[in-house]
Amino acid sequence: MEVKTAQVKNRFFSVVLKAGLLCFLLAAVPIHGDISLEGLLKENELDLYWDDILNRGMIWRGDEVLTFMPEVPLMTHNFLNTSVISPPYFQDGTLYFPDSTADRIQALFVRPESADTREISTIFIDPGHGGKDPGTIGTLASGEPIYEKHIVMEVARDLARRLGDRYPGKEIVISREDDRYLTLEQRTALANGLSSGPDEKIVFISIHANAALNSRAKGIEVWYLPPEYRRQLLEPDDVDSENSSVLPILNSILEEEYTVESIILAQNIERGMMAELGGYTRSRGLKEMDWYVVRKAHMPSVLVEVGFVTNPEEVELLNNPLYLQNISKGIYNGITDFIQDFESVSQ
């Protein structure tokens, strides 16, 4: 079904900023022994995310992440451990960290050279529909029907094969490997039931085909959860009892992490697909919606629409095995680009 485009809302987050790009906002001259945010970033080779709405920063290097707010005497390490600090403060438009707080932050980012880097341990691929649920149905020029469930199954199988060949050390999981019916609840339960280590992450890729009342509608889309959508990602048992009072804050921080990673994953997949399909179709852009599978999958997640079965030209392409392989190759290239960037951050 054709849905109105929802643009990426950059006001909810900032793109990853290198310290050298912050000069327009921050000054590096310490006051009374304290250190500016820019100075802290440069001195420790850290990166920064900044949430303009919540007035909150996230500094990170590798798999170590610290979250803080100006004038608030708390900082959170790796989204779980919250401690009391001397709060950062603004002076003459510049954000400073007290010397004692800066020392604690620097100590957290001292890592042994042999330390492992973070990694994507598992890729969960979910071809939509199946069994009694055919998904959307198109009609070929021959008059024969074509079913969404079959299109996305072929794409998912080829994608899983490519990823398995590229990453023998990673777990490649597919929700269904044949024409069977799974509820939406079963799909996300499978993904959420996968295990990962403290420095590992799972990503969720849902694959669908599109339809519209307007037969001229064509192209690919990549969807992610709206940045303002909020879920319960952490349960009380997930944090220490002493941090239970800040559970909502920690949950919000984790939500933002997943949002940023989902958008970056979506951007990579959209670019990868257009590099393979640009001569045959077009991109309808990145879009946001609280689809069930992306809001219930507690991990970075996207939903990919591979084309319209209601477009007379595109439906013929979606019936071509070579074109479906190009689709899977484009998604594959986007995922591998995302993984390369994600896993190289701490190197």
Show the 3-state SS of 151-189: HHHHHHHHHHHHHHHHCCCCEEEECCCCCCCCCHHHHHH
Rounded to the nearest 10°, the torsion over CA 9, 235, 48, 336 is -70
Confidence of residue 228 (pLDDT cuts 50, 70, 90): confident
Q: Is 315 exposed, middle or buried (0-12, 13-18, 19+ CB in 10 A)?
A: buried
pLDDT digit string (tens) for 141-160?
999 999 999 999 999 999 99
Question: What pLDDT is attached to residue 28?
Answer: 38
Q: Whose structure tokens read 């950062």?
A: 88
pLDDT digit string (tens) for 290-313?
999 999 999 999 999 999 999 999
As a whole-number percent, the residues of the chain with pLDDT over 70 amount to 83
The phi, psi pair for 5, rounded to 5°, reads -60, 135
Q: Which domains are seen in the chain, by residue range?
A: 10-108 (3.30.457.10), 119-344 (3.40.630.40)
Question: What pLDDT is attached to residue 79?
Answer: 72
Question: What pLDDT is attached to residue 5?
Answer: 30
Q: At what angle do helices 37-44 and 99-108 cross, to 10 degrees?
A: 30
Question: What pLDDT is attached to residue 33?
Answer: 75
Flag whether the pTM goes above 0.75. no
Question: What pLDDT is attached to residue 282?
Answer: 97
Of 152 and 114, more confident? 152
pLDDT digit string (tens) for 48-100?
988 888 888 989 887 788 999 999 989 988 777 788 899 999 998 899 999 99
Question: What pLDDT is attached to residue 17?
Answer: 35
Question: What pLDDT is attached to residue 53?
Answer: 82
Average pLDDT over residues 34-53: 90
Length of the chain, please?
A: 347
